[in-house]
Amino acid sequence: MRDGKLQKIWCCLVGLCGFLVISGCNSPLTQNDLEALLSRGELVLITRNNSACYYEGPHGPAGFEHDLAKAFAEYLGVGLRIEIIEEEVEMIAALRAGKGDIIAPGVPFGSQSARLLSLGPGYLEVEQQVVGRRGGPEIQNRKALEAYTLWTTGSSARIEYLEELRRSYPGVSWQILTAYSDEDLLQMVWNRSLPLTVVDSNIMSMNHHYYPELKIMLTLGHPLKLTWATDQRNRRLKQALFTWFDRKETRDTIKGLVEHYYSHLESFDYVDLTRYRRRIKVRLPKYRPYFEAAAKKYKLDWKLVAALAYQESHWNPKAESYTGVRGMMMLTRDTAASMDLENRMDVESSIFAGARYLARLHRLVSKTIPEPDRTLMALAAYNIGFGHLQDARILARRLGKPENSWHGVRSVFPLLQQKKYYSTLDHRYARGNEAVMYVDRIRTYYKMLRPNLDLIASDPATHDGPPVFKGP
């Protein structure tokens, strides 16, 4: 998209916003904007439906932006309502029309958008990344981009990056696909429908493990921070927003959300995840009925049981480690005996025993711990033992960290390897770093499972990805 067309869009937007201000169509009241919000009892968040912003998770609404906004709503003492709008221009128009209180797009705002909005403090740094596929175009420098079309969505900050890039490299060109999301474009690059796309680094991080063949070719420009935006007329809400972001509790919340949504992705391994996706197709179908039956019996998510089993044995029923754990679920002799399992190498029996053991650990974890934290702690206990999990919770409390959140417990697990700390605990030394990596990898396997199952279901003959993209 060239400058003229983009400029027309923004002119239309400015005109629309001006009309809404003059007409007063559902426009918020400037004088008492915060009081009006508190009176109606809800904060309305305008955001996108994707992995970085908002989605329906296995335990209810989830997503970085959703969880952060929920914390702000709780601070205000109101409920949270989500308004899904995908296009930035439409988000701004809806905000100006009084259909929402805050925009959280999950991507930075460009300078043209910023002039129409009141931006809050920055809270997460992201970069613009050119993404290709292994075996596709090899981009060694920015000059090489002139040979390809860059496909992207209509993020204002991203377009400004590209316009700046074109001033140095006039041959750079791009196409904007308004009918598709950034995640769609990553999938299109993965299935070779598109050569290159430009996305924000947080979106890439959230999706890289789904498509391990994707490759970050270049980073454009300088990093920008994500911000929320409010209507310029809502001065009191803006003030409350700045006050809240300045609190230590909020900074701790943001740190916890970063760890929750991004930290487990840091152990990304291209070879391992490529192998995993292949085994979803080849190995999983044989054992899936056992996972489903065991999960149903013990009230678990079968995909979680399957992900746990993959972490333990790579779905190899004959797996055996030097420590003596054996079978699909890699149970010790003592654990197997406590689960009434006689033959650990029997696939069905092993899966049922492992699911039963995970369910027992889940029951042992305090009911006061919300999901998904309770499940994540149960997974850690499967690896490191329930006693060490309890030690970690005790240590978290001693160090002023939240003992009932995975974020808090995760942060102290590595300390169980330090004599200074483990010598004061009942169960002494433990390989805490290993437990953290263990849970991180299961979370990655679990997240990869559904989209890969969907791909297999949609194309059982080839499983090479969705239909080839034919153009906008």
| pLDDT tens sequence across 308-335 | 999 999 999 999 875 678 899 999 888 9
* Same domain, yes or no: 95 and 235: yes
Question: Nearest to residue 6, comparing CAs of 169, 167, 173, 154?
Answer: 154
CA–CA separation, 328 and 52 (whole Å): 33
In a domain, 468, yes or no: no
Structure-token pair, residue 123: 């809270």
* Same domain, yes or no: 377 and 335: yes
Judge whether residue 6 has pLDDT over 70.
no
Distance of CA 451 to the CA centre of its chain: 14
The bridge status of strand 102-104 relative to strand 55-57 is unpaired
CA–CA separation, 369 and 404 (whole Å): 5
* Same domain, yes or no: 95 and 13: yes
Is 312 catalytic? The answer is: yes
Write out the DSSP string of 151-213: EE---HHHHHHHHHHHHH-TT-EEEE-TTS-HHHHHHHHHTTS-S-EEEEHHHHHHHTTTSTT
* Same domain, yes or no: 453 and 320: yes
Tell me, what's the pLDDT at 268? 60
Collapsed DSSP state (helix, strand, coil) of residue 41: coil
* Same domain, yes or no: 168 and 308: no
14-23, 392-401, 427-436 — most confident range: 392-401
Which DSSP symbol is given to 42? E
Query: What would the mean pLDDT of 15-33 be, rounded to a whole number?
Result: 46
Tell me, what's the pLDDT at 51? 78
Which DSSP symbol is given to 99? S
In a domain, 464, yes or no: no
* Same domain, yes or no: 101 and 245: yes
CA–CA separation, 472 and 470 (whole Å): 7
The answer to whether residues 418 and 432 touch, using CB atoms and an 8 Å cutoff, is no
In a domain, 470, yes or no: no
Write out the DSSP string of 347-408: HHHHHHHHHHHHHHHHHHS-TTSPTTHHHHHHHHHHHH-HHHHHHHHHHHHHTTS-TTSHHH
Collapsed DSSP state (helix, strand, coil) of residue 341: coil
In a domain, 467, yes or no: no
Length of the chain: 472
Collapsed DSSP state (helix, strand, coil) of residue 293: helix
Element (H, E) at 220: strand 214-226
Following CA atoms 264, 267, 269, 275 in sequence, which dihedral angle do they give, to the nearest 10 degrees? -50
Handedness of CA 177, 183, 188, 192 (dihedral sign): positive
User: 179-230 pLDDT, tens per residue?
Assistant: 888 888 998 999 899 999 999 999 998 888 778 889 999 998 889 999 999 9
CA–CA separation, 368 and 308 (whole Å): 24
Q: Can you give the residue range of the structural domain that contains 391?
A: 270-458
* Same domain, yes or no: 294 and 425: yes
CATH code of the domain in which 285 resides: 1.10.530.10
Judge whether residue 471 has pLDDT over 50.
no
Cis-peptide, bond into residue 372, ω within 30° of zero:
yes
> CA Rg, the chain, in Å?
25
User: 402-430 pLDDT, tens per residue?
Assistant: 999 999 999 999 888 888 888 899 988 88
Model pTM score? 0.68
* Same domain, yes or no: 29 and 114: yes
Q: Domain ends where: 264, 288, 322?
A: 264
User: 56-68 pLDDT, tens per residue?
Assistant: 765 578 889 999 9
Query: What would the mean pLDDT of 37-57 be, rounded to a whole number?
Result: 89
* Same domain, yes or no: 191 and 287: no
Judge whether residue 251 has pLDDT over 90.
yes
Q: Domain ends where: 241, 264, 287?
A: 264
* Same domain, yes or no: 383 and 419: yes
Q: Which residues are paired to 50 by β-bridges? A: 54
Tell me, what's the pLDDT at 1? 43
Residue 265 confidence class, pLDDT cut points 50, 70, 90:
low
Distance of CA 124 to the CA centre of its chain: 13
Q: Which residues are paired to 103 by β-bridges? A: 46, 229
Q: Domain ends where: 201, 226, 251?
A: 226
The answer to whether residues 287 and 328 touch, using CB atoms and an 8 Å cutoff, is yes
Tell me, what's the pLDDT at 420? 84
Tell me, what's the pLDDT at 18? 42
CA–CA separation, 112 and 12 (whole Å): 13
CATH code of the domain in which 180 resides: 3.40.190.10
* Same domain, yes or no: 180 and 318: no
User: 443-454 pLDDT, tens per residue?
Assistant: 989 988 988 887
In a domain, 466, yes or no: no
Residue 456 confidence class, pLDDT cut points 50, 70, 90:
low
In a domain, 140, yes or no: yes
In a domain, 472, yes or no: no
In a domain, 12, yes or no: yes
Least confident interval from 35-49, 119-133, 299-313, 323-337: 323-337
Considering its fold, how many domains does the chain have in total? Answer: 3
The answer to whether residues 215 and 134 touch, using CB atoms and an 8 Å cutoff, is yes
* Same domain, yes or no: 171 and 296: no
**Phi/psi of residue 226, nearest 5 degrees:** -70, 140
Question: Nearest to residue 164, comparing CAs of 198, 126, 204?
Answer: 198
Catalytic residue among 65, 312, 403, 434: 312
